[in-house]
Structure 1
Amino acid sequence: MDNYNIQRKEIEAIYGKVSPFELKNKLLSLAEESKEAGAHSLLDAGRGNPNWIAAAPREAFFTFGQFALQESRRVWSENDLGGMPQRSGIAVRFLNFIRKNKNMPGIELLEKMINYGITIKRFDKDEWIYELADGIIGDNYPQPDRMLKHVESVVHDYLIQELCYNEPLERKFDLFAVEGATAGMCYIFDSLIANNILSKKDKIAIMAPIFTPYLEIPHLPRYDFEVVELVADETTGQYSYEELKKLSDPDIKALFVVNPSNPPSIAMKPVIVDGLKKIVEEDNPDLMIISDDVYGTFVENFHSLMADLPYNTIGVYSFSKYFGATGCRLGTIALYEDNVFDKLLSQQDDDKKERARRRYAALSIKPEKIPFIDRIVADSRQVALNHTSGLSTPQQVQMSFFALFALADKKNRYKDLTNLICHRRKKLLFDGLGLKLNEDPFDASYYAQFDLLKWAQNNYEEEFASYLKDNYKPVDILLKLAEKSSIVLLGGSGFHGPEWSVRISLANLNDESYSQIGEVIHSILEDYFVKWKKRGVGNQDGQ
């Protein structure tokens, strides 16, 4: 048997048994061979990194890097060696740099961003510019280790603008800069266990469909949680009140959610959030909510649970999707100053408090008083290496430049453009499928979740859909896409979506590719339909 058919058999054997992301790698290999044998190009719509980048804040970032290097050379310049930037007088020197370099890329935006810190935030000029210059050079450990002081303040403004409908709450959020949202989730899981807020066999809830690793992590031996799933309606992507009522059980200690969802890519409607708030307040006031809001910027007037249930919610956000920065690994954990996590720590019995004292004894003479957000920081470096914790300072400066760029964009030109890209591509996909696209203001359109079986029921005949279900598996469609046109998609069942659904990333291919994907899927199902017709309508066994 040749390598091509060996790979095909292997994919059929492991479908439904491994992560869809691991299966995708196998499909990619198959699609590569198909591409080499034909004239079509590889179309990988399986991964969610966008094919655009936020160019303007990067121009400002690299130009500011030149200023920071000048500052280093000013202090000490000996062949290839430079010194460490100095604080005193750096604001005046930066102003001179701006005046002398009016033609450098991103210089106007850079000036606006620095002025935001000076005029809006009222930062000390030297302190503000020095933190950025020293940070972008990366010559010092992050200090504070949780997040640089001024960077945290501007990123906080950004999160309030994008996730909390630009209405400051009574208190602020404490932020921890992390290596993307997935790292943030790992840190949170670990700290919940390390601090005995969650224990093995505890009951948690997950809103499904959801990013596959969030389904897999709770079942790892380290956690071994009992999982209750709240399942979204397959048509609307929203949650019924009956599903939300599962959270009335006070034994459910934590809720994990991606909002907008992945892959349905739908944000929770206000009425759903209101129902969730009612249940939490009346039936489960100590519920811990961990919300991944990475796709929030793709929904107009998005409201995170951070804003609506700040006491209960720890927010995780990544800059990767919106700014085209998946390789930068930029994310934040946000925890409201008054929160249920700290309350639960304070109410622990003496045995659990003593374990915390021993764990964090090297950090404080009163380790039991360390807030949960700072415990996450320490746990991220196994506590003993707390002094080396924190996201690298160049990454933090890059994060602040993205945030400042969005804060300066008062007309939302960048947001409107990225959202238009996603919605345009979804329309092209549906046109290729021969379907009408119903507009939904809560649809981020970062992904499309498409149920092949339901489409067969609605657009062909019920008997044909039954034939497909009885004689084939969803992996057969994925294999045909890879073989026929070198198109790679993910199966939706791996996200606990409908068994016959596929997830199509709308972010990472050129527009025309989505028309092609839609047309090829349509063509494949049409081939199945013709084959069924030839076998005779009503053939009970499909043979």
Structure 2
Amino acid sequence: MNISDEEKIETLGAFEISEKMVELAKINAKGNPYLNAGRGNPNWINKKARLAFSRLVEFGIEESERTISDGDLVGYTELEGISKRLVQFLAPQTNETDQFLVLCLDYLKNKLGLDLDDVVKEFIDGVLGNLYPSPNRVLKHTEIILNQYLQSVLYNGVDLANDTTLFPTEGGSAAIVYTFNSLKENKLIKPGDKIAINTPIFTPYLQIPVLNDYELVELDLSSKEEHNWEIDPTTIDKLNDPELKAFFLVNPSNPGSKALDDTALKEIKKAVMNNPDLMIITDDVYGTFVNDFQTVYSVVPFNTLLVYSYSKLFGATGWRLGIIGLHKENVFDKLIKELPSEEQAKLNKRYNLVVLDTEEMSFIDRMVADSRSIGLYHIAGLSTPSQIMEALFSLTHLVVSDISDDYIEASKKLVNERYEKLHAALDYAKDESAKNAKYYSMINIYHLAEEKYGAEFSHYLETHYEQIDFLINLAQKNGIVLMDGVGFGANPGDLRVSEANLPTKDYQKIGQQMLELLNEYYQAFKKQS
């Protein structure tokens, strides 16, 4: 590619650039195996919940045949005695999946105090997908289970399960879109409003605010490589600005892969005391990869909207399983009630099609309505099979949470092994702090160049080539795809490597190929010198 082509590619988003690199890598000049470490899609899955889902479907069909059975046309399920019939259906003595389902029933009855007939009926109708979601925001017992899971893995001992309202969504991506849309529709953010974003960050949080739909003014709260991608407490001081409407962050960060430490959490709490109407949106999809993780939501629940996704931990990106969580008493509802009367009147007109008392309609229920353009509110909500899948994933953790979750530990061990292999191959500094999720690595090619060949060569690389040149050649010549960090709000030369989606042995190859290509640049530098 010539410089003009590279400049055009640099105008694209990080994921769009990655797709261009994929095209080049598949036909790379050296005939190397194509290795795409650009995407965060894990190459492992949780089998226990999926097998349990399958068994519930099987039982659900048997249940349906009790009422109508005419070839492939079978009937409806019945509430009375359904849990007893499920127990009779299961064979825990010989079937490991059935053992898990028995543990689930015991947990639901004895730990959560739920009526088993009601729960099993919800689960069976849910996996069969034979009814509209009802309640449409979230199924009744499923919400209780999801709340227990979020409390166990994200809140670090803070008790919020009974005070949190949930809205399952089509993945974390839908949660992000719904959040921005409802903030706008409910006049909580307006064109020209100032918002803060902790960068580097997942690209939509940078791209959405500047669209014509929003036209927000972004204030960058950046984390730096020299601080191991930890947010500087002095940077958090910017949140004290009363003109600042909202603060968006991913925690642990993407692509920095770093969770907020106790100091940062305390500083955010202080900032909220000084700026009590600040709206915080925290995306905690990688939280389970950090020991003793604590979400911002558990520190300032009144001000925080929580986004979570099951996709990364459970290998479920295709299922599209996300959640929005909001405290029953929150700043979003408060600010809506404080809007000028003319704005209130417009909102009343918007939502009075679906509720009688629009002024009492909570922000999270407005999100549900907005997600289906109001008119389809009566059939809104995440599909029931997807909701039950979220509940089953949650239960794989909850039934063992008093002991140790071997699955979560195995997932952390796997990404750690890959992290170690990549950094060892590159001989690049590792971040061994407890807050590093290690789901991604950020490798700055200019820093690597200076470490291997000196500052003069690093300066040459930076000044003689477009910042995307190394990324393009890595794909075009060596068949390896990484992601450009600039699209995430990082610095030129920062490359994101996902430790999730390739066999462990390939991370050593990626490191070796990066050094091989870097040496080619160095040889060109020596000739020119």
Matched, 1:368 2:359: yes
Aligned to 2:45: 53
Aligned mate of 2:467, from 468, 471, 474:
474
Is 1:29 paired with 2:35?
no
Selected match of 1:85 from 52, 77, 102: 77
Match of 2:524 in 1: 531
Could you tell me which amino acid in structure 1 is paired with residue 424 of structure 2?
Answer: D
Shift of 1:148: 0.3
Matching residue's letter, 1:184: A
Q: Aligned pair 1:121/2:115, yes or no?
A: no
What's 2:487 paired with? 494
**Counterpart residue type for residue 205 of structure 1:** A
Which SS does the other structure have where 1:268 is aligned?
coil
Please state whether the residue corresponding to 2:353 is helix, strand or coil.
coil
Deviation at 1:170, TM superposition (A): 8.7
| 1:158-191 CA-partner distances (Å, limit 9, x unpaired) | 0000110143139511000100111001111111
1:179-328 alignment runs, 5 A limit: 179-235=170-226, 236-281=228-273, 283-328=274-319
Decide whether aligned partners of structure 1 residues 314 and 238 sit closer, same or farther in structure 2, where only a CA change above 3 A counts.
same
Distance 1:40 1:16 in 2: 25
The TM-score, its normalising length taken from structure 2, stands at 0.97
Closer, same or farther in 2 for the Cα pair 1:28/1:343, shift >3 Å? same
1:406 maps to: 397
Alignment partner, residue 428 of structure 1: 421
Question: What is the CA–CA distance in structure 2 between the aligned matches of 1:500 and 1:329, rounded to whole Å?
Answer: 32
Q: Find 1:15's aligned residue among 9, 28, 32.
A: 9
The structural deviation recorded for 1:104 is: 4.0
Partner of 1:455: 448
Q: CA deviation at 1:240?
A: 1.6
User: Partners of 1:210 and 1:436 in 2: how far apart?
Assistant: 22
Tell me, yes or no, if the aligned pair for 1:311 and 1:338 is still in contact at 8 Å. Answer: yes
Q: Assess if the C-alpha contact under 8 Å between 1:161 and 1:167 holds in 2.
A: no
Q: Is the 8 A contact 1:266 1:442 kept in 2?
A: yes
Change (3 A) 1:170 1:511: closer
Equivalent AA in structure 1 for residue 16 of structure 2: E
Q: Report if aligned partners of 2:193, 2:244 keep a CA contact under 8 Å in 1.
A: yes
CA shift at 1:497, angstroms?
0.6
Q: Which amino acid aligns with 1:396?
A: Q
Aligned residue pairs: how many? 526
CA distance in 2, matches of 1:285, 1:214: 23
Alignment partner, residue 331 of structure 2: 340
Alpha-carbon distance in 1 for matches of 2:390, 2:439:
22
Amino acid at match of 1:359: R
Q: CA deviation at 1:485?
A: 2.0
Gapped regions of structure 2 (runs ≥ 5): none
**CA positional deviation for 1:341:** 0.6
Give a deviation string over 1:409-441, Cα, whole Å, max 9, x none: 331211111001111101100111123524111
Alignment of 1:63-78 (within 5 A): 63-78=55-70
Q: Which amino acid aligns with 1:518?
A: G
Q: In the aligned structure 1, how far is the partner of 2:73 from the partner of 2:437?
A: 48
Unaligned runs of 5+ in 1: 537-543
Which residue is equivalent to 2:436? Answer: 443
TM-superposed deviation, 1:80 = 0.8
Q: CA shift at 1:11, angstroms?
A: 5.2
Q: Distance in 1 between matches of 2:157 and 2:141?
A: 19
1:168 aligns with 2:159: yes
| Distance in 1 of aligned mates of 2:4 and 2:383 | 41
* Aligned mates of 2:429, 2:199 — CA distance in 1: 26
Contact 2:148 2:161 in 1 (8 A): no
Quick check: 450-459 or 211-220, which moved more?
A: 450-459
Residue identity in the other structure for 1:298:
F
- 1: distance between equivalents of 2:469 and 2:438? 26
Aligned residue type for 1:25: E
Residues 231 and 438 from structure 1, CA distance in 2 versus in 1: closer, same or farther, beyond 3 angstroms? Answer: closer
SS of residue paired to 1:218: coil
Identical aligned pairs, as a percentage? 38
Q: Tell me how far apart the structure 1 counterparts of residues 519 and 513 of structure 2 sit (CA, whole Å).
A: 10
Shift of 1:535: 2.9
Contact 2:251–2:286 (Cα < 8 Å) also in 1 = yes
Corresponding letter in the other structure for 2:51:
E
Q: CA deviation at 1:40?
A: 2.2
- The yes-or-no answer on 1:62 pairing with 2:74 is no
SS in 2 for 1:291: strand
Tell me if 1:389 matches 2:380: yes
How far residue 13 of structure 1 moved from its aligned partner, in angstroms, is 3.6
Once the 2 structures are TM-superposed, how far is the Cα of residue 44 of structure 1 from its aligned partner?
A: 0.6
* Counterpart for residue 476 of structure 2: 483
**Runs of 4 or more consecutive aligned structure 1 residues displaced over 3 Å after TM superposition:** 8-11, 101-105
Whether the 8 Å contact between 1:88 and 1:126 is mirrored in structure 2 is yes
- Asked if structure 1 preserves the Cα contact closer than 8 Å seen for 2:307 and 2:322, the reply is yes
CA distance in 1, matches of 2:250, 2:492: 20
Query: Aligned letter for 1:431?
Result: A
SS across alignment from 2:302: coil
> Match for 2:493: what amino acid?
W
Q: Distance in 1 between matches of 2:59 and 2:157?
A: 32
The amino acid that maps onto 1:209 is: P
Distance 1:457-1:38 versus aligned 2 partners, 3 A rule? closer
* Alpha carbons 2:151, 2:161 under 8 Å: kept: no
Instruction: Name the counterpart of 2:90.
Output: 98
Shift of residue 458, structure 1, vs aligned partner: 3.1
Is the CA contact (8 Å cut-off) linking 1:260 and 1:267 kept in structure 2? yes
Per-residue CA deviations over 1:18-49 (Å, capped at 9, x if unaligned) read: 10111111111111122xx6542210111110
CA contact (8 A) 2:239 2:275 kept: yes
Name 1:517's counterpart in structure 2: 510
Within 1, Cα distance between the matches of 2:375 and 2:31? 56
Query: Residue 248 of structure 2: SS of its match in structure 1?
Result: strand
Summarize deviations over 1:123-156 as a string: whole Å, max 9, x none: 1111011000011111100011010010010010
- Give how far 1:9 is off: 7.3
Do the aligned residues in 2 keep the contact of 1:255 with 1:287 (CA within 8 Å)? Answer: yes
Q: Secondary structure at the match of 2:382?
A: coil
Distance 1:208 1:302 in 2: 20
Q: Which one of 27, 33, 43 corresponds to residue 41 of structure 1?
A: 33
Residue 112 (structure 2) pairs with residue 112 (structure 1): no
The normalised TM-score by structure 1 is: 0.94
Contact 1:60 1:105 in 2 (8 A): no
Whether the 8 Å CA contact 1:204–1:226 is kept in 2: the answer is: yes
Deviates more, 1:260-269 or 1:108-117: 108-117
Aligned 8 A contact 1:59 1:106 in 2: yes
The AA in structure 2 aligned to 1:498 is: N
Deviations 1:478-518 (A, max 9, x none): 12211222111111111111111100010000011100000
